[in-house]
Amino acid sequence: MSVISCKQLSHRFFQAGKENVILEDINFDVNAGESCAIIGKSGSGKTTLLNLLGLLDTPSQGRIHLCGQNTQELYKNDSNLSLFRNKNIGFIFQFHHLLYEFTVLENVLMPFMIQNLRPKEFSHKKEWGIHLLEKMGMIDKINSSVLHLSGGEQQRVAVARALVHKPLIVLADEPTGNLDTELAMTVFKEILDITHSYNGSAVIVTHDPELARQTTTTYHLSQHQLLRL
């Protein structure tokens, strides 16, 4: 079953009265429990595509179905849109947007801290959050402020935060861009293993062809189109 399905997806930006075509007639699907990597030159539209899939922007044309739901319907109601996004999507941003006045663990558990969960439920989530930070090699820093972390450490906290609610759709924009080659491979594989462990699907943008080979399918974004490799 397709968890992500795009049909005839096109996107353009208008700047200073000029139309700039970024994506043109893109069709692609990702099945439950599968993953896909997207590679492509800087400026080719990878972040634009992820933003459309993550419901952070609306396409100029075409349709996106997520978890069987037509996302055009979701845009009609802001609270339905946020509910859907918070439940089903885990977004790892190219620039991580952590909350600098909180600790590593607080950043990861933030979605639950504002939900008023029962103590037992919160403690289950906390256990999973700590497990994710352990997988990310961050167990020694869970009570540190994120302010003093290195770029790569912040990136690994952002990965744990995006996976903490076990989203069916994980969208990652160069999640290993700040890591050395060995750690990049470890973190990349962990993102896939963790997502697949609960039958989630991942779309990961990367510049590294070696990492791109780890996913079920790989696409090259070039000249506004996705080409399957």
Closest contact distance (angstroms) between CB of 47 and Mg ion is 3
Beta strands 89-92 and 169-173 are parallel
**Cβ-contact 133, 108 below 8 angstroms:** yes
Q: Applying CB under 6 A, which of residues 3, 4, 9, 22 lies at the interface with ligand ATP?
A: 22
**Cβ-contact 208, 200 below 8 angstroms:** no
Closest contact distance (angstroms) between CB of 64 and Mg ion is 19
Binding mask 36-75 for Mg ion (x = CB under 5 A): -----------x----------------------------
Q: What angle do CA 210, 226, 27 make, to 5 degrees?
A: 130
Residue 50's nearest CA partner among 91, 7, 2 is: 91
Closest contact distance (angstroms) between CB of 14 and ligand ATP is 8
Closest contact distance (angstroms) between CB of 207 and ligand ATP is 7
Q: Applying CB under 6 A, which of residues 5, 35, 46, 202 lies at the interface with ligand ATP?
A: 46
Residue 72 tokens read as 């055009």
Residues that contact Mg ion, how many (by CB under 5 A):
1
90 counts as binding ligand ATP under rule CB under 6 A: no
Stretch that binds ligand ATP, among 43-51, 82-90, 114-122, 143-151 (CB under 6 A): 43-51
Q: Applying CB under 6 A, which of residues 5, 26, 37, 48 lies at the interface with ligand ATP?
A: 48
Residue 149 tokens read as 């972390």
Residue nearest to Mg ion (CB): 47
Long-range contacts made by residues 130-134, C-beta under 8 angstroms, separation at least 24?
130/105, 132/108, 132/159, 132/160, 132/163, 132/164, 132/194, 133/104, 133/105, 133/108, 133/157, 133/160
